[in-house]
Amino acid sequence: MTKKRKKLTLAMMSILLLSACGITDETSGAEQPQTTTTFEEYGEYISYSSTVPEAYYQTVFAFEELESGVNTVPHKKVRAMYEEMKATFDYLLVNDYPLVYRGDYQGDTAFVDGYDQYQAGKVPNPMNVEARDWEGNPFLATPLKTLLLGDGVFQRFDQQIEEGRNLKITDYTLVTPDQPIPVVLGYAYKGIYEIGDTFSLELISEVMNFQVVGFYKQGTSFAMDTQQVAFDYTIVMPHFLFEYEPVGEAALFQHAFHLAELTSGYIQIDKPFEAINDETYQQTVDMLEKMAERHNLSGLYKVATWPVGFVW
């Protein structure tokens, strides 16, 4: 992949991952977590959020702070950080960077990530965009709606299975690059795929194999404040750990980005919304930074100031 392609890939991923976090950093072109607004400035939001009993704050791995690029993510340190975050906080991992169909996509536009924004005139058409792989070979790319669930989240949907099975804890490790990644599909995929079917899509920078293990019931969803996250047209996959070494630049980029995003989740401040203020928020930020320092990752994490309330 050329340097231009790398930058484009990272910029696209950053915008997708951070779009809900707040303000835009004009120097980077990607949205950054809102960490400057004081609590007094959004009292109305807090008043609304107080109806949700648990306050979660998004953590973001700051790729822009890596001097030599994404490929230099320190795998072992970040993995240790991830394990400590899970052990220390009530940690929710929900990500939505899309899997990409390579080729001339002729399917239903309802499955295409960002197509509704395109219809609203907010973004260019995301279907069949001209792209290049890591070696510079051209292909057409279409992002598909995808949800990556952490190993502490998938169980919440055990009772929402229409056919087959839900994700399970053994799905959260990938031991070889050819191993099919289990996925549970939204209800609208019934009739297109069957249990046991396999297909190939691009995950970040490498084409991977996926296998259908289940379908969710029609209407399965959850809410993040007022945003409803619907599963019907979505591929749901585990946010797994790689248990093999990457070979080649594309695989190294994929492993580094995917691993760092394991630490871009949501941590809970274990107090009612109305009891959270600048001081209690800063205590949590300081706790996360001290954790990062222990793993030699100081300065690589940002925390949004605006809380999120999950409704399952």
CA–CA gap between residue 226 and residue 309 (Å, rounded): 9
| Helices 249-261, 75-88: crossing angle, 10 deg rounding | 20
**Domain limits, the chain:** 15-93+262-312, 96-240
Angle 230-233-237 (CA atoms, 0-180°, nearest 5)? 80
Give the whole-angstrom CA distance, residue 55 versus residue 44: 15
**Type of residue at 97:** Y
Q: For residues 52 and 54, what is the distance between their CA atoms, to the nearest angstrom?
A: 6
- Kindly tell me the sign of the dihedral angle through the C-alpha atoms of 173, 178, 182, 183: positive
Find the angle CA(49)-CA(279)-CA(286) to the nearest 5 degrees. Answer: 105
Bridge partners of residue 57, in order along the sequence: 267
Q: What pLDDT tens digit does each residue of the chain (312 aa) get?
A: 333 334 334 444 443 333 333 322 333 333 344 444 454 555 555 555 555 567 899 999 999 999 999 999 999 999 999 999 999 999 999 999 999 999 999 999 999 999 999 999 999 999 999 999 999 999 999 999 999 999 999 999 999 999 999 999 999 999 999 999 999 999 999 999 999 999 999 999 999 999 999 999 999 999 987 789 999 999 999 999 999 999 999 999 999 999 999 999 999 998 877 788 889 999 999 999 999 999 999 999 999 988 888 988
**pTM (2 decimals)?**
0.86
Burial of 308: CB neighbours in 10 Å, binned 0-12, 13-18, 19+: buried
**Close Cβ partners of 192 (under 8 Å, ≥ 6 residues apart):** none
